[in-house]
Structure formats: C-alpha cells, structure tokens
C-alpha cells in the first residue's frame, strides 16, 4: 500500500491527449443543520487538466474554499460529500478519492494533493523552526532522504530565499512574504501533483503579491505540478491562470480560458463581478457594485440562484436552473440568455471585446 502511494508523481509516461489529473463528477456537499440543510457545493462537474493553472474565483461565501476541501476529502463533520472524485496518477491509474481509507487519505494529502492556506501565521507552529517543519513533514510521510533535503534547499533557492538563514529561523522572524514563500516550498517538498492555494497572497502587499505570482509561474513550470488558485481578486490572477472557473452560490457558473473570462464573459454574474472591481483602466463612473447579496447557504433561490440579482432574469430563470452549456471553445456558462448578454450588461473594459456577437 505504502509503496503504491510513494509512486504518485514518480513515474514517467507518454502524455495522452488532454491529460486530466482530477475529475469531479456531480459532486455535492451536504450539511444537515438544525436550521435546515446547507449545500455548500452543488452539482460540480470539473476536469482539472494535468499541469494547468486553474483559477477558482468568487465572492466570500460562494463555496470556493469548500470545493477545494472537497477535492482532498477534507470536509469537516457533519458535512457529507456525494458524487465521484477521481485522481489520475501519472501512470494512468485511477484513485477513487472518496473511497480511500484513513491511512491512505493521510498520504494522499501532501503526496498527491497539497494545500497552501491564506494565513501562514496560523499554519506554522510558532515553536518549531522552519527546518523542523520540513523534517517533520518528511518523516511523517516516511520520505526523509538526502535527495529530499537537497530538494528542500533547491525549492527555497528557487523562491529567492537563502536556505541556511531561512531554515534556522522561527516563523515570527520572517516577513509575511518570506513566510508565504517558505510555505509554498514546504507544500512542494513531497512532490505533489496538484497544489491548491487558498488566497495565498491576499494578506500581502501589492509588490510582494506580484513577485509571488511571478515566482509561482516559474516554479510551476520547473516542478511540473498542477496549480489550483482560489481568489476573489480576478485581475490579480489574470496573468497567471490558464483557465478560470467562476463560482456563485456554491456552483460553477462559468468556466473558460482566462482571456475569454476577462474579455468575453457570457455569464451575467461574471460581468457584474468584473464591472464591480476597482481598477486603473475603467472610468470610475463605470465601476458599480453588484446589487443584493450572496445567498444564505440554507436558503438558495430556486431556479437560477443568481436571478434575484440579475438584470436579465425572467420567469424561466425563477423556475429552471440553467446547466453549464458550451458557449465557445472550451468555454461553458450556466445561463439561458448568453446570446443577449452584450445588450444587457456591457463590459466596462472593452479591449479585445468585439461586442461578442461575432460568434
């Protein structure tokens, strides 16, 4: 058993077409609570491609963090996951994530999928040095070896940290940016195939954010992992991600190549989100908030969950829930009226957006 897990990522195989590393099939999460039933992840179908950078964006409470916990089968009680989550090893073997026993699951996390959280302050143990964090992690996974130690040094160097100085430091001795970079190195020490990052830069300054985003692209290229990046800040990830999934009310409402999402979004929510984001490009008069609020997980509207906030909503939207449908190459959106979107919700930024009616 243990041997099969150390094989995650250590076998070379010729690449099949459109290599998929993680498949989510009709995944739901259900919480039975005294006030009612909450479904913080709803009907998610998603294929994560090997070595892509996938952005997952949405407002607070849209379910994006919960979706990522689901991918690692890390939803806390009383949450129940249903559906299928399949992890594809590089040798082509399929792993049923939800079927893993406790011991296997422990190895699966970190060795197959690792996660970096938002506040490093609460993740690092304040009484352990950075080196002890690495050592403990390696030992817990029976993976301590010369090569790993070398990898540790190389990872830190690649993240522009001086290995010797950083390793002997305690977390509080490092700046926020250094902590976050050390955390990224730690999450990659066991050579996971997928790295999930939950708002990894929102606590940092602008210039440090930009540097880390830039570093991520470099190391992703060098260490060849798949990166899933959760954020509420669309402009920040536009230069990083290959594809972006937009979440609203616990569902994916639009998924497509970054350029398309930024320049030619088809879902009214995606457009409203872009138009509400402060930026330096648009006239200030054209930036406007999205009216209304994100729905309560216990009380999600029937029909399209966005209809109470949508200027295009009609009777059909109030009764029927639109499914993700293809609107362009590799681009899906869950809305009945994608063909009318340009008339109703023009994008404030129009570079590269030809009016959208030319398809």
Partner 1 sequence: MSSAELEEVDAEPDIPPEAEDEPLVELDGATVDFTVGTSFNPFADPDTVNAVNEVDLAIEEQDVLILVGESGSGKTTLGKVATALQRPTDGEVRYRGQNIWEARDGTGLIDIDFRDIRRALQIIHQDPVAALNPNRTILQTLAQPLRIRFGEDMGPGSRRERVYNVLEQVNLTPAADYGSRYPHQLSGGEKQRVVLTRALLMDPDLILADEPVSALDVSLRVEIMDLMLELQEVFGMSYIFVSHNLSNARYFAEKAGGRVGIMYLGELVEIGTPQEVIGNPKHPYTQVLKWATPSLAPDEEEKGSPPLRAIDIPDARNPPSGCRFHTRCPFAREACTEIHPELEETTTGGPEVACFRPDGNHEYWQTPLLDEEAAQIAEEKMEVNVE
Q: Say how far apart CA 200 and CA 116 lie, in whole Å.
A: 7
The SS3 assignment for 81 reads: strand
**130-140 helix and 176-187 helix, angle to the nearest 10 degrees:** 20
Q: How far is the CB of 261 from partner 1 (least distance, A)?
A: 8
Min dist CB 278 to partner 1, Å, is 4
Asked if residue 78 has a cis previous peptide bond (ω within 30° of 0), the answer is yes
Q: Measure CA 48 to chain center.
A: 10
Q: Cβ neighbours of residue 181 under 8 Å, at least 6 residues apart?
A: 156, 159, 160, 161, 212, 215
Q: How far is the CB of 101 from partner 1 (least distance, A)?
A: 37
Between 96 and 293, whose beta carbon lies closer to partner 1?
A: 293
| Cβ atoms of 42 and 28 closer than 8 Å | yes
- Minimum distance from residue 271 beta carbon to partner 1 (Å): 12
Backbone angles phi, psi at 139, to 5 degrees: -65, -40
Alpha-carbon distance of 288 to 275, in angstroms, equals 6
CB of 169 to partner 1, least distance (A): 14
Run of H or E residues at 256: strand 251-257
Q: Which is nearer to partner 1, 192 or 295 (CB)?
A: 295
Query: What is the rounded CA–CA span in Å between residue 157 and residue 32?
Result: 47
Distance CA 95, CA 82 (A): 16
Show the tokens assigned to 343.
């008339």
Closest to partner 1 by CB, 95 vs 252, is: 252
Nearer to partner 1, 8 or 266 (CB): 266
Q: Which is nearer to partner 1, 74 or 208 (CB)?
A: 208
In the complex, the smallest distance separating the C-beta of residue 72 from partner 1, rounded to whole angstroms, is 24
Distance of closest approach, residue 176 Cβ to partner 1, in angstroms: 7
- Contacting positions for partner 1 (CB under 8 A): 59-60, 160, 175-177, 205-208, 210-211, 214-215, 232-236, 238-239, 259, 262-264, 272-274, 276-282, 284, 287-290, 293, 348-349, 351-353
Nearer to partner 1, 322 or 348 (CB): 348
Sign of CA dihedral 302, 290, 323, 238: negative
Cβ atoms of 51 and 114 within 8 Å: the answer is no
Comparing CB distances to partner 1, the nearer of 14 and 311 is 311
């Amino acid at each position: 058993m243990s041997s099969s897990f150390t094989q995650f990522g250590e076998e070379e195989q010729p690449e099949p077409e459109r290599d998929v590393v993680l498949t989510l099939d009709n995944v739901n999460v259900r919480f039975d609570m005294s006030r009612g039933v909450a479904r913080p992840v709803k009907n998610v179908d998603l294929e994560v491609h090997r070595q892509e950078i996938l952005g997952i964006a949405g407002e607070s409470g849209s379910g994006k963090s919960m979706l990522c916990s689901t991918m690692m089968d890390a939803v806390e009680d009383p949450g129940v996951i249903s559906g299928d989550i399949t992890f594809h090893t590089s040798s082509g073997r399929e792993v049923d994530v939800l079927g893993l026993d406790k011991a296997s699951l422990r190895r699966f996390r970190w060795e197959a999928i690792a996660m970096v959280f938002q506040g490093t302050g609460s993740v690092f143990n304040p009484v352990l040095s950075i080196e002890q964090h690495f050592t403990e992690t390696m030992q817990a996974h029976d993976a301590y070896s010369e090569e790993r130690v070398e990898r540790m040094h190389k990872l830190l160097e690649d993240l522009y940290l001086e290995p010797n100085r950083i390793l002997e430091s305690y977390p509080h001795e490092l700046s926020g940016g250094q902590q976050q970079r050390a955390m990224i190195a730690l999450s990659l020490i066991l050579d996971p195939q997928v790295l999930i990052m939950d708002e990894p830069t929102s606590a940092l300054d602008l210039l440090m954010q930009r540097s880390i985003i830039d570093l991520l692209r470099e190391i992703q290229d060098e260490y060849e992992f798949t990166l899933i990046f959760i954020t509420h800040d669309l402009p920040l990830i536009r230069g990083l991600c290959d594809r972006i999934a937009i979440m609203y009310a616990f569902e994916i409402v639009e998924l497509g190549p970054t350029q398309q999402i930024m320049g030619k979004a088809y879902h009214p929510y995606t457009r409203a989100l872009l138009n509400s984001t402060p930026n330096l490009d648009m006239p200030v008069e054209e930036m406007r908030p999205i009216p209304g609020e994100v729905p309560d997980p216990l009380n999600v509207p029937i029909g399209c969950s966005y209809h109470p906030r949508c200027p295009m909503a009609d009777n059909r939207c109030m009764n029927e829930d639109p499914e993700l449908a293809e609107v362009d190459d590799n681009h899906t959106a869950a809305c009945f009226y994608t063909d009318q979107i340009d008339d109703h919700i023009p994008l404030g930024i129009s570079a590269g957006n030809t009016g959208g009616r030319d398809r």
